[in-house]
Amino acid sequence: TIPKTQKAAVVASAGATVEIKEIPVKTEAELAPGECLVKLHCTGVCHTDLHAALGDWPLKANTPLIGGHEGVGEIVAIGPNTASSPVKIGDRVGIKWLADSCLDCEHCRKGREQNCLKAKLSGFNVDGTFAEYVVSYVHHVTPIPEGIDSNSAASILCAGVTVYRAIKYSQTEAGDWIVLPGAGGGLGHLAVQYARVRGLRVIAIDSGEEKKKLCLELGAEVWIDFKESKDIVADVKAATGGEGAHSAVVTTASPSGYKQAVDYLRCGGTLMAVGLPGQAGLEASIFFTVFKSISILGSYVGNRQDAREAVDIAARGQVRCVYAKKALPDLKDVYEGITNGTIAGRVVLDMTE
Ligand code: 8ID
Ligand code: ZN
């Protein structure tokens, strides 16, 4: 039976402290066609949720905000008159950042669903997964295969999908060098592993002993501490036989992670911009971008297919999310940890306890 009310973590207005509140749960009759109600097992906490809560991006979240977009749970209701649903009641599904898209605009038809002008973004312009129940959309939820538990699957839905796609489009081949600034964070530690799955050689950049250990354990070949290195460009060049790396996937929330990227890429190299500082410009020498034939590409989450591929790789045990398990009331402290950079890997909030 579905309760009438539930606990949710709510941010009243941009910059306000997150508070646990009792809010209504939608009944089946209140769901629109195409919507489904998911009882969450757990949700990951992404740095994006903190940006949304602080309002530090040029795009602002709806308020009051229920954040969260790395959820896994079970479908308990489907909206009346839903045509041809690919999922049914009882299915275990994932909720990603891209909660829904129109599926029939140019962007959707080309497989760039995340650029749909009607996109619904979980935990941003529609209520997200920091609650016991979430309303989602049958055509966009991601089926979760057996062979992976919900806590391990959660962060694949945003962090995993995002870095999986960024690496897929990084114009690299097996044996190439890839630099990952932010490698010890939520996106980064999964990027180390998805890069290894593709046979890439990983240079991890982040800071501190814990993140160093994590990155090396997960398969990074070279570690550079950005707080200790005197010259990151020289360090990357030294590690790559003098020529520099073939690609960099930048997942830092700070613009500092982008600074030297064009300089440590070799000719023909590709910079994938993923981390989302709200206000910074991308500084790169125009001369050397041209002279070295550098590609600079933005990469924004992934479509339904990317999600299935990223989850499938994790379910087959090739990538594993390293997370600390917490509960919904801990969210405020988790945001503090993200701000201070003290979280290696991810935090997943378990909703079943
Ligand atoms: O679709 C997208 N493009 C997408 C999807 C999901 C998340 C983008 N993001 C964005 C988030 O909004 C955020 O801005 O990616 C960024 C990283 O998200 P995250 O992985 O959830 O954040 P984190 O766990 O805090 O990891 C960031 C890491 O960067 C390191 C930190 O130490 C941390 O481990 N870092 C920083 I800050 N500055 C660095 C630097 N100069 C650095 N690492 C290397 N060099
Ligand atoms: Zn995210």
Provide the domain limits for residue 242: 170-298
pLDDT reported for residue 212? 98
Those residues whose C-beta lies under 8 Å from the C-beta of residue 209, and which sit 6 or more positions away, are none
315, 282: one domain:
no
pLDDT at residue number 221: 98
- Residues 218 and 322 grouped into a single domain: no
Residues 253, 136 share a domain: no
14-49 b/e with 16+ CB inside 10 Å = b? Answer: eeeebeeeebebbeeeebeebbbbbbbbbbbbbbbb
Does a structural domain hold residue 174? Answer: yes
> Candidates 113, 187, 250: which one to mutate for ligand 1, based on the most atoms within 8 Å of Cβ?
187
pLDDT of residue 353: 77
Q: Tell me, yes or no, whether 140 and 18 share the same domain.
A: yes
Is 243 in the same domain as 314? no
| 176 and 227 both lie in a single domain | yes
Are 147 and 111 part of one and the same domain? Answer: yes
196-232 CB burial, b ≥16 within 10 A, e <16? beeebbbbbbbeeeebbebbbebebebbbbbeeeeeb
Please give the tally of structural domains in the chain.
2
Residues 28 and 154 in one domain: yes
Structure tokens at 303: 């479509």
Cβ atoms 25, 82 nearer than 8 A: no
- 165 assigned to some structural domain: no
Ligand 1 pocket mutation pick from 45, 46, 179, 231 by most atoms within 8 angstroms of CB: 46
pLDDT tens digits in sequence order for the chain, 353 residues long = 899 999 999 999 999 999 999 999 999 999 999 999 999 999 999 999 999 999 999 999 999 999 999 999 999 999 999 999 999 999 999 999 999 999 999 999 999 999 999 999 999 999 999 999 999 999 999 999 999 999 999 999 999 999 999 999 999 999 999 999 999 999 999 999 999 999 999 999 999 999 999 999 999 999 999 999 999 999 999 999 999 999 999 999 999 999 899 999 999 999 999 999 999 999 899 999 999 999 999 999 999 999 999 999 999 999 999 999 999 999 999 999 999 999 999 999 999 97
64 upstream amide cis, omega within 30 of 0? yes
121 in Cβ contact with 69 (< 8 Å): yes
Q: Which of 98, 163, 206, 346 to mutate to test the pocket of ligand 1 (most atoms within 8 A of CB)?
A: 206
- The answer on 117 and 15 residing in a single domain is yes
Give a yes or no: residue 163 inside a domain.
no
Q: Confirm whether 70 is domain-assigned.
A: yes
Clarify whether residues 73 and 145 are in a common domain: yes
pLDDT (0 to 100) of residue 67: 98
Residues 28 and 69 in one domain: yes
CATH of the domain at 52: 3.90.180.10
Cα(122) to centroid(ligand 2), Å:
10
The set of protein residues with a Cβ atom below 6 angstroms from ligand 1 is: 46-48, 51, 158-159, 162, 181-182, 184-188, 205-207, 211, 226, 251-254, 256-257, 274-276, 299-301, 338, 341, 343
d(CA 142, CA 308): 7
β-partners of residue 38 are 75, 134
Residue 164 forms part of a structural domain:
no
DSSP for residue 87: S
> Which of 258, 280, 298 is the endpoint of a domain?
298
Do 9 and 143 share a domain, yes or no? Answer: yes
Type of residue at 282? L
What is the structure's pLDDT at 301?
98
Ligand 1 centre distance from Cα of residue 255 (Å): 10
